[in-house]
Amino acid sequence: MEQFTHDRAITRHTTPEQALTHIQQLYREQVGHLRDAMQRFVAGETPSSPIHAYYPKVRVHTHTVARADTTLAYGFVEGPGTYEATLTRPDLFAEYYAEQLRLLRASHDVDFEVGLSDKPIPIHFSFAENDHIEGSLTAERRMLMRDVFDLPDLEAMDDGIANGTWQPQPGGALPLSLFTAPRVDYSLHRLRHYTGTAPEWFQNFVLFTNYQFYIDEFIRLGHAEMARPDSEYCAFVEPGNVVTRRAGLPAEAVDELGSPPPRLPQMPGYHLVRADSSGITMVNIGVGPANAKTITDHIAVLRPHAWMMLGHCAGLRNSQQLGDYVLAHAYVREDHVLDEELPLWVP
């Protein structure tokens, strides 16, 4: 059995398209290697040595602080140095990766070095959608998985880069992404659990609410849009990956995989889908700031364009009327949910 190692040659690319194609190829090879090994393991084969596969990485070198377009808020690095990131799911993030690589090239005139990182892909993160392999294993075989495959390491999945607390190692590369590949994969899997929908359905504009009447109206709106042949939206997706296509559009193979869940998930998600992902996702986060932090931590890896919380104001000022939009700018810190993320002096 071929064993992949992370010391394979790094390849230099001069165009974003070449770099992304190589990233996609490496990821397919690594995940395919794990899936093949897992199928043999389920069939009863026990490998003589542990099975490893690794996330692809991309690296750039810059030698100047200058950049071509200073109006952008992303797609550049802050100064001279070596920057790199581990990447996952280049099928899901293809457009996002392509845009970021294109902007890096335009801003800094850099080449892209692509190869395998030293970060192993946990076996659970290699499963295809709707794969539930562990259920077919005995308890003994499930325990043996720990010796054969890499498993998710939650201690390595912190938000130090995004929070600005990450410290580089001497001589090490600086981060090129807010989230590492294992952290992204972890959140993609948690989104399925919390919302009952696949991450592929999430749109770039996200609404959060803790009131069911907003969800009821969004469901009504979603089905109304699907009844309009001229709607800008192409699908409406509900928990269980239940897909309703716009009138006049044929069903797709993925639609057959969805089914209503016997009970709603913890934070049900609904998606009014546009072909370019510029539609609207709405999530009922339920009650409590802990839920709000949890779901935003996981949706953040999808890099949405904007999100907003729709609440229900409990009181009015004399200057306000029913129906006015109220923009919240602080919340009571007595719940301590964000104490480890934000200084206590932040309102």
Dist CA 300 CA 178 (whole Å): 10
CA nearest 265: which of 292, 238, 243, 304? 238
Find out whether 202 and 309 touch, Cβ atoms under 8 Å: no
Dist CA 26 CA 38 (whole Å): 18
The mean predicted confidence, pLDDT, of the chain is 91
Cβ neighbours of residue 99 under 8 Å, at least 6 residues apart? 75
252-272 core/surface letters (b: 16 or more CB in 10 A; e: else): eebeeebeeeeeebebbbbbb
| Domain 11-190, CATH | 3.30.1730.10
- Least confident residue range of 153-157, 227-231, 311-315: 311-315
Band of residue 2 on the pLDDT scale cut at 50, 70, 90: very low
Find out whether 135 and 104 touch, Cβ atoms under 8 Å: no
Q: Which residues are bridge partners to 244 per DSSP?
A: 236
Sign of the C-alpha dihedral computed for residues 16, 19, 20 and 21 taken in this order = positive
Query: Is a pLDDT exceeding 50 seen at residue 1?
Result: no
Return the H-helix or E-strand segment holding 336.
none
CATH 3.40.605.10 fits 196-335, yes or no: no
Any idea which residue has 């054969």 for tokens? Answer: 148
- Tell me, rounded to whole angstroms, the distance of Cα 319 from its chain centroid: 41
Q: What is the pLDDT of residues 9-30, one digit of tens each?
A: 899 999 999 999 999 999 999 9
Dist CA 279 CA 262 (whole Å): 27
Mean pLDDT of 323-328: 75
Band of residue 111 on the pLDDT scale cut at 50, 70, 90: very high
Any idea which residue has 């709607």 for tokens? Answer: 231
Dist CA 290 CA 340 (whole Å): 13
Query: Is a pLDDT exceeding 60 seen at residue 197?
Result: yes
What residue ranges do the domains of the chain occupy?
A: 11-190, 196-335
In the numeric block, which tokens belong to residue 229?
A: 């042949």
Q: Under the phi-then-psi rule, with left for phi > 0, alpha for psi from -120 to 50, and beta for the rest, what region is 3?
A: beta
What are the backbone dihedrals phi and psi of residue 14, each rounded to the nearest 5 degrees, phi first? -100, -10
Cβ neighbours of residue 126 under 8 Å, at least 6 residues apart? 30, 31, 34, 35, 38, 53
Sign of the C-alpha dihedral computed for residues 142, 144, 145 and 146 taken in this order = positive
Dist CA 51 CA 66 (whole Å): 44
